[in-house]
Amino acid sequence: MEHPTENTNGSNGAGAVGIMDRLRVATAKQHDDAENHEFQQAFFAGRLTQDQYVRYLVELHHVYACLENHIRSASKDRPELAQVVAEENYREADLVDDLDFFGVAPGSSNPTPATETFMSHTEVLARTNPIALLGMHYVLEGSNNGSKFISRNIRRAYELTDRGVRTLDPYGSDQRQKWLDYKLRMGELELSQDECDALVQAAQYMFSALGRVSSDLMPEKLQNVGT
């Protein structure tokens, strides 16, 4: 789960500090906590069993599908969402393809308690302050910077080539440019101070929520999650 490190010159209505810089600085601790989680460490190193990896993809599908569906819907009233999140930034189809490769259907396992909490929180946010969904999406889009490198370990561990790992490496050699384009679109938004604060809080929540999801995916916890 790579944390963005580049600076951005994007500005917003709030003033001196661009929203991308605010997000990067304000989420540093939450990012480190999530990245240092035992489950994530095993994932980064390609030490999960294939079954554990596939179960992780199932859980990611719950997370991505929830957030992306709310972004699509909320974009009708808040066009800023579509201004930042382009069609190429949606990952649900990649997750479906990866799971299909392993012969597993999306939703084949119920969401863990942490994922259910995330989904409920996201639904409320979509109704009450939909612009904040960009803070959540920033975390997922930024994670592609690190998952591109993680995908190499995953490919070796499970003898994969392209399919089965598309979610982790969606842009291939274009990863850096896609991230720069995303940052530019986000930085061009005209946001109020309250809206900037909402994005930061949502991004912090997203990192913490992913950490809790990782905890639920530890083997001893999964025994209590129904299918």
CA distance 57 to 119: 16
Q: Could you give the dihedral angle defined by the CA atoms of residues 23, 29, 35 and 36, in that order, rounded to the nearest 10 degrees?
A: 180
pLDDT value of residue 9: 39
Angle, alpha carbons 195-197-202 (nearest 5°): 95
State which H helix or E strand residue 182 sits in. helix 175-187
State which H helix or E strand residue 186 sits in. helix 175-187
pLDDT value of residue 124: 98
CA distance 188 to 12: 7
Assigned token pair, 52 = 């554990």
Alpha carbon separation from 69 to 15, 90, 173 (Å, rounded): 31, 10, 27
pLDDT value of residue 35: 83
CA distance 210 to 115: 8
Q: Could you give the dihedral angle defined by the CA atoms of residues 44, 141, 92 and 50, in that order, rounded to the nearest 10 degrees?
A: 0
DSSP 12: B
Angle, alpha carbons 48-49-52 (nearest 5°): 80
Assigned token pair, 184 = 């530019």
CA distance 189 to 85: 12
pLDDT value of residue 110: 95
Q: Which fold has domain 23-219?
A: Heme Oxygenase; Chain A (1.20.910)
- Give the residues across from 15 on adjacent strands: 12
Q: Give the phi and the psi of residue 214 in degrees, each rounded to 5.
A: -60, -40
Mean pLDDT by groups of 10 residues along the chain of 227 residues: 43 57 93 88 94 97 98 96 97 98 95 98 98 98 94 95 94 96 95 96 96 91 54
